[in-house]
Amino acid sequence: MPQLSDDDIKSLIADGDVFAISIDTAVFDGKQKTFHNAVLQRLDQFHQRDVGVVFVDIIAQEMKSHLRDDAIEAQRALKKALRSHNKRWRRETSNGEAADLLINADATEFARAEFDAFRQHVNGDEIAAGETPDAVMKVFDRYFAGSPPFGAADKRKSEFPDAFALLRLEALADEEGRKLICVSPDNGWLDFASQSDHLICVPRLEDALALFNAADQHVADAIVERWRQSEGGDFIEDISRAFEYRLDDLDFDIDGHADILFEAEPLSAALQYVLPDKIGPPTVIAVDGETVTFTVRVDALVGFEALFSFYVTDSVDRDDVGLGSEEAYVERTLSFELTITADRSLEDRPEFHEVEVAKKRFEVDFGYVEAFPNEDPTHEKY
């Protein structure tokens, strides 16, 4: 549809003119390729409304294949790490270890089970892209005309799944005689929807969910404002615990430089504090009788610790010769996305029921790392 304002879309929702919502693969990828992401999980709210959650089979297959590929890569990395560990420690692999660690588990089956569980959780329906009348002819007409979602010639071939999916969603909305909200940051989806009489494309899932929950925006605004003004309280502890849980699981990349060769590995990451003046505006993504769920971006100071192991390469046989190691610590300010479920009541202090810090991989610059900081330069070795 032509560009609509948020108020226009809210009016369509209020009037019952929006019958379904659907997401693109790019939305799943942006949520770290996990169906357990807190924002994706809140698609479950629509079964309480007269709004369906629709997955086009070709998009569902893409999401599953992306999850499968990530799972396979994780298995490969684990196998490599275990081989190196066992060799270094002269350790024999124990019976049942591969099964316990899921090293040889079927990644395709894992991805399918994850998607099926997610679809059931959100009461989603899967529809077949091939059921679009004259689908192939319509897709190729768009392909050769360079019409959305097909863009520049060198990228057109990668847009075929999107074309089939969008035509199926448009046909479904046409049959229903109402509007369908599709969520995607992809320009092809946005351009296609702008020319459609039935599709409305919103780039971010959080913003799409907010359109259905605008009535409680003032509640989230008030909660976040109290958070900004607070210097303590139980809800601050809730935030800290959520960061502690996430940072314990944080595997960060390390950048830095030294006078000799080194390898580096993460040791720890710990929250120092959230910057009160860097707490962004909240986006309400779900409400029920007693709680409101919203996302909010914050900047936080985090302390990172890493181990730098130094070595030189022997000029004769090219073996690496270890020279010792040093631990290094830096503090960096980073942005995080939080999903918070809190009481709607504003009579008392904010009561947080659940706080999740979204997974995100970071590169931490440790700057210059001195190889031997405790060595006495006046000491002479004979």
- pLDDT tens per residue across span 322-374: 788 899 999 999 999 999 998 888 777 778 888 999 877 788 999 999 887 76
Look at residue 101 and tell me whether its pLDDT is greater than 90: no
Question: Taking residues 146-174, what's their average pLDDT?
Answer: 80
Look at residue 154 and tell me whether its pLDDT is greater than 60: no
Entry pTM: 0.83
The band of 87, judged by pLDDT with boundaries at 50, 70 and 90, is confident
Instruction: Compute the mean pLDDT over every residue in the chain, rounded to the nearest whole number.
Output: 87
DSSP state of 94: P
Q: Are 172 and 22 in contact (CB under 8 A)?
A: no
Q: Are 200 and 9 in contact (CB under 8 A)?
A: yes
DSSP state of 210: H
Question: Taking residues 4-22, what's their average pLDDT?
Answer: 94
CA distance 74 to 77: 5
Q: List CB contacts of 26: < 8 A, sequence separation 6 or more.
A: 184, 185, 186
Give one word for 291, left, alpha or beta, with left for phi > 0 and alpha for psi -120 to 50: beta
CA–chain centroid gap for 166, Å, is 23
Look at residue 319 and tell me whether its pLDDT is greater than 80: no
What local confidence, expressed as pLDDT, does residue 139 receive?
Answer: 72
The band of 50, judged by pLDDT with boundaries at 50, 70 and 90, is confident
What local confidence, expressed as pLDDT, does residue 99 receive?
Answer: 82
What local confidence, expressed as pLDDT, does residue 350 receive?
Answer: 74
Question: Taking residues 152-179, what's their average pLDDT?
Answer: 84
Residue type, 214: A
DSSP state of 371: S
Percent of the chain with pLDDT over 90: 54
CA distance 362 to 330: 14
- Angstrom CA distances, 73 to 29, 67, 77, 170, 280, stand at 15, 10, 6, 36, 35
- Stated as kind and residue range, the H or E segment containing 32 is none
